[in-house]
Amino acid sequence: MKNIAPQLPAEQYEKNFAELHPPFTYNSALIEANRCLYCYDSPCMKACPTHIDISTFIKKIASENLLGSAKTILQSNWVALTCAKACPVKVLCEGACVYNNKDEKPIEIGRLQRFAIDNYFAKGMPPLFRKAKKKGKTIGIVGSGPAGLACGAELAILGYDVTIYESSDIPGGLNTWGIAPYKLRREDSLKEVELVKSFGVEIKTGVMIGKTIQVDELLKKHDAVFLGVGLGESPQLSLPGEELSGVIGALEFIEKVKTENWKNVQVGKKVAVIGAGNTSIDAATESKRLGAEQVFILYRRSNIEMSAYDFEYDLAKKDGIVFHFLTSPKKIIGDKFVEGIECIKMKLGEPDIKGKRKPVPITGSEFILPVDMVIKAIGQETKSNFLNSISGLTIDDEGCVVVDQESYQTTNPKIFAGGDCINGGKEVVNAAHDGKRAAHGIDKYLTNK
Ligand code: SF4
């Protein structure tokens, strides 16, 4: 990179990456829990993809039964700490809270969930669940992200021997490597990994399925296989200059930030992030918090069409990120290093097949934005090459594995799948739900229920 932002003092990094939402104190949690109306129809519970019994866990906090509260939460969601901290609660449970209809602040469900689960981990994960009698069958799980962990934990409780195969040396998948540290620290994700291991689930790290071991071998070794492989790389922009030093994929960048070795993560003085989804916002705000002087988000449509949540957009604006809407990159400029990005202004034309208005370039509106770094954040591709190599699977036009919506069984009866590899990229909480449901699909399959 030509112009690298200078390192910050260590305490500045800590400040910049401090948690966005600090934990409740004991008293403040009780006060908040006592505000809950324990609605009989719990719209909050319906809005949660894992259907946590929210009013019950909050009631247990109010009555100071914190372990009981944690049990209620974990019964529905094995990665409840990650979800408490990283879920878009404003559009899920808290967005559905009846207090919104009264023009009052909704119950802070995410922070209360965190309060109960933090206490559970602080108490050393006392046993809350009884495992079923051993079934004498083994399940192989590919990927230790939220779907794999949830599936593994549930299967272990159901009496199965479970081995999770993880390509990285540190397990946890997206929870460990893909969530901005001011939302979730790596240590939080690793606590959930330890919880799953405490049920007897074995996690083999550094194992690349398809290279170190083939899926066929897993199918011979195990009675069923669950695929929770997530998504792959950021797609190519196919722009001239993409090979220059200073161009990086958003996930690769976020992974570096997640090492928490912040002083060694290089960031340009001026950064352009291409795309306007939630990952783009993470990459942009992380760049700013690492010391970048100016960070731009370039998006070819307007703020109405962007996929980032409103609260993410607000966070980015608070961090001083500059948005260039209706702007498309044409060329990355530089000799060896990125020196700028040539953009063209767009206008919105007719809607495409998905109903999104198509951006149309405005002739002669090109301009150059001087930047030192370009972060590609235009989504992620599925691991379609890997998935296509597995016999008997059906892969749809989007590159996702086709599964039965109830059992999560693929068109290869011995293989089940869940999480981003079946939906193309949703929230952690969706993956946690898929993993748990798939565990029951596997149980049904193996017990001929
Ligand atoms: Fe409590 Fe709000 Fe859920 Fe009602 S909707 S049970 S008030 S959190």
- CATH number of the domain at 251, please: 3.50.50.60
Domain count, the chain: 3
Q: How is residue 192 written in tokens?
A: 């959930």
Q: At 103, which helix (H) or strand (E)?
A: none
Q: Assess whether the C-beta atom of 43 lies below 6 angstroms from ligand 1.
A: yes
Which of 88, 122, 156 marks a domain boundary?
Answer: 122
Distance 93 CA to ligand 1 centre (A): 9
Pairing of strands 294-298, 322-324: parallel
Q: What Rg value do the Cα atoms of the chain yield, rounded?
A: 23
Per the CB < 8 A criterion, the answer to whether 441 and 416 are in contact is yes
Together in a domain, 150 and 211 = yes
Tens of pLDDT, residue by residue over 359-374, are 999 999 999 999 999 9
pLDDT at 354 over 80: no
CA nearest ligand 1 atom 5, residue: 97
Q: Which of 32, 34, 36, 115 to mutate to test the pocket of ligand 1 (most atoms within 8 A of CB)?
A: 36
Q: CA nearest 446: which of 136, 133, 129, 78?
A: 136
Residue 306 sits in which domain range?
Answer: 247-376
Together in a domain, 116 and 152 = no
Together in a domain, 106 and 215 = no
Q: Is residue 133 part of a domain?
A: no
Q: Is residue 239 part of a domain?
A: no
Q: Which of 42, 100, 104 to mutate to test the pocket of ligand 1 (most atoms within 8 A of CB)?
A: 42
Distance 94 CA to ligand 1 centre (A): 8
* pLDDT-based confidence at residue 300 (cuts at 50, 70, 90): very high
Which own/partner contact pairs does 36-44 have at CB distance under 8 Å and 24+ positions apart?
36/62, 36/107, 37/98, 37/99, 39/98, 43/96, 43/97, 43/98, 44/93, 44/94, 44/96, 44/97, 44/107, 44/109
Distance 19 CA to ligand 1 centre (A): 25
Distance 102 CA to ligand 1 centre (A): 12
Together in a domain, 369 and 390 = no
Phi and psi torsions of 249, nearest 5°:
-75, 150
Q: Is residue 97 part of a domain?
A: yes
Print burial letters for 83-121: b (CB count within 10 Å at least 16), e (below 16).
bbbbbbbeebbbebbbbeeeeeebbbbbbbbbbbbbbbb
Q: Assess whether the C-beta atom of 44 lies below 6 angstroms from ligand 1.
A: yes
Q: CA nearest 17: which of 287, 268, 289, 263?
A: 289
Phi and psi torsions of 271, nearest 5°:
-125, 135
Distance 187 CA to ligand 1 centre (A): 30
pLDDT at 194 over 90: yes
Coil, strand or helix at 319:
coil
Together in a domain, 308 and 334 = yes
* pLDDT-based confidence at residue 166 (cuts at 50, 70, 90): very high
Together in a domain, 340 and 355 = yes
30 φ/ψ sector (left φ>0, alpha ψ -120 to 50, else beta) = alpha
Quick count: other Cβ atoms within 10 Å of Cβ 399? 17
Together in a domain, 372 and 251 = yes
Which of 90, 122, 154 marks a domain boundary?
Answer: 122
Coil, strand or helix at 330:
strand
Q: Assess whether the C-beta atom of 54 lies below 6 angstroms from ligand 1.
A: yes
Together in a domain, 273 and 362 = yes
Q: What mean pLDDT comes out for the span 320-336?
A: 97
Together in a domain, 266 and 335 = yes
Q: At 250, which helix (H) or strand (E)?
A: helix 250-258
Q: Assess whether the C-beta atom of 98 lies below 6 angstroms from ligand 1.
A: yes
Per the CB < 8 A criterion, the answer to whether 387 and 395 are in contact is yes
CA nearest ligand 1 atom 2, residue: 97
The mean pLDDT of the chain is 95
Phi and psi torsions of 273, nearest 5°:
-105, 125
The contacts of residue 13 (CB under 8 Å, 6+ apart) are 262, 263, 289, 290
Which of 96, 122, 148 marks a domain boundary?
Answer: 122
Distance 315 CA to ligand 1 centre (A): 26
Q: Which of 51, 107, 113, 115 to mutate to test the pocket of ligand 1 (most atoms within 8 A of CB)?
A: 107
Tens of pLDDT, residue by residue over 73-89, are 999 999 999 999 999 99
* pLDDT-based confidence at residue 382 (cuts at 50, 70, 90): confident
Distance 325 CA to ligand 1 centre (A): 37
User: What is the predicted pLDDT for the residue at 39?
Assistant: 95
Which ligand 1 atom lies nearest to the CA of residue 98? Answer: 5
Tens of pLDDT, residue by residue over 250-274, are 999 999 999 889 999 999 999 999 9
**Spatial separation of the C-alpha atoms in residues 53 and 50, rounded to whole Å:** 9
Which ligand 1 atom lies nearest to the CA of residue 55? Answer: 6
Q: Is residue 190 part of a domain?
A: yes
Quick count: other Cβ atoms within 10 Å of Cβ 328? 18
Q: Is residue 6 part of a domain?
A: no
CA nearest ligand 1 atom 1, residue: 36
User: What is the predicted pLDDT for the residue at 324?
Assistant: 98
Q: Assess whether the C-beta atom of 142 lies below 6 angstroms from ligand 1.
A: no
Together in a domain, 158 and 105 = no
Together in a domain, 291 and 388 = no
**Spatial separation of the C-alpha atoms in residues 381 and 399, rounded to whole Å:** 8
Phi and psi torsions of 268, nearest 5°:
-70, 160
* Residue scoring higher pLDDT (69 or 305): 69
Q: Is residue 13 part of a domain?
A: no
Together in a domain, 396 and 304 = no
Q: CATH number, domain at 62?
A: 1.10.1060.10
Q: Which of 97, 102, 109, 111 to mutate to test the pocket of ligand 1 (most atoms within 8 A of CB)?
A: 97
**Spatial separation of the C-alpha atoms in residues 69 and 28, rounded to whole Å:** 16
User: What is the predicted pLDDT for the residue at 135?
Assistant: 95
Q: Is residue 177 part of a domain?
A: yes
